[in-house]
A = this chain, B = another copy of it.
Amino acid sequence: MILEFERPVKELEARIADLHRLAGPSAELQGEISRLEDALESAKRRIYSNLSPYQRVQVARHPDRPNFRAYRDALADDFYELSGDRAHGEDPAVRGGFARLSRSGHNVMLIGHDKGADVKSRVKGNFGMAHPEGYRKVRRLYELAGRFGMPIVTLVDTPGAFAGRQAEERGQAWAISEDLMALARSPVPVICMVIGEGGSGGALAMCAGDYVGMLENSYLSVIAPEACASIIFRDPGRAAEAAAAMKITARDLKEQKIVDEVLPEPLGGAHNEPDAAIEAVGETLGLVLSELSDVDPQTLMKTRYERYRRIGAHAAAGQDPALS
């Protein structure tokens, strides 16, 4: 899939490839090729370093973007998957289990939204939108991690909670709330990485911890930009505006002090160079884990309390608007 704003880059790439083919071993077209390569480089830099918030949303949604499976396979020596909520079902939209990180050797409870690898697994995993049994499995895994003193690492990548009949029948609001409560009282480090989409309460159920990192082109939003536009502007076509207005990019959120760190992506986005993006996440994970591993549970929970307790955009009446 080629995104609209990627088109100039892709066209240049195609032309360069054509010329290479035409030129063969001869040096005749080398001048032209060099010229185009320079143009490509500067087009990339121009386009990708000025992505609008909504363009970043599109990058975050790119089907070739490395997803949970890619991170799991690349970052963990071993992933011992656990399943089931012990009450209703097993939800493939979200996966979790014990993982040994190959880089740092840390044992963690690794949990992530699974957007799948192909049409079949995407459908099966409901495109990364969990059902209540998924949230309940996650809570079970949070509690297991706590029981074994093992840090929790979440990889967030979901369009959001699922607007579906069965999800409501089985109480998704209750299930999400239980996840948030479980995270609040977890005695182990909770490390959250937004690797793609961070949509609504569905994302938050896995994105409230002691460290929250976001890849440069990921987003975290209370509602999908399209839905926001259709409610507030009464026009889903104004999604780009809504995305900008809600300040949902990694950099915006770093500025709002809601996330700790923006992890840079390779030029062109993680889908253009998956290994580099995964490597960046893995490296950061190792550093954060090392830092948080020594913190005692009481301090962890107290710090986490204060972290979330302070987030808000409110002020005493008549005073300057400022973070409380």
Contacts and interface: CB of A to CB of B under 8 A. Distances in A.
Interface of A: 86-88, 132, 136, 170-171, 174-175
A92 to B, nearest CB: 18
The 5 closest A-B pairs by CB, nearest first: A87-B87, A86-B174, A88-B88, A87-B171, A88-B170
A68 to B, nearest CB: 25
A223 to B, nearest CB: 26
Contacts of A86: 171, 174
Contacts of A171: 86-87
Nearest to A86: B174
Contact of A136 (B87, B170, B174, B175): B87
Contacts of A132: 87
A136 to B, nearest CB: 7
Contacts of A175: 87
Nearest to A174: B86
A124 to B, nearest CB: 20
A270 to B, nearest CB: 36
A88 B174 CA distance: 11
A172 to B, nearest CB: 11
A248 B146 CA distance: 43
A88 B170 CA distance: 6
12 contacts: A86-B171, A86-B174, A87-B87, A87-B88, A87-B132, A87-B136, A87-B170, A87-B171, A87-B174, A87-B175, A88-B88, A88-B170
A160 B112 CA distance: 41
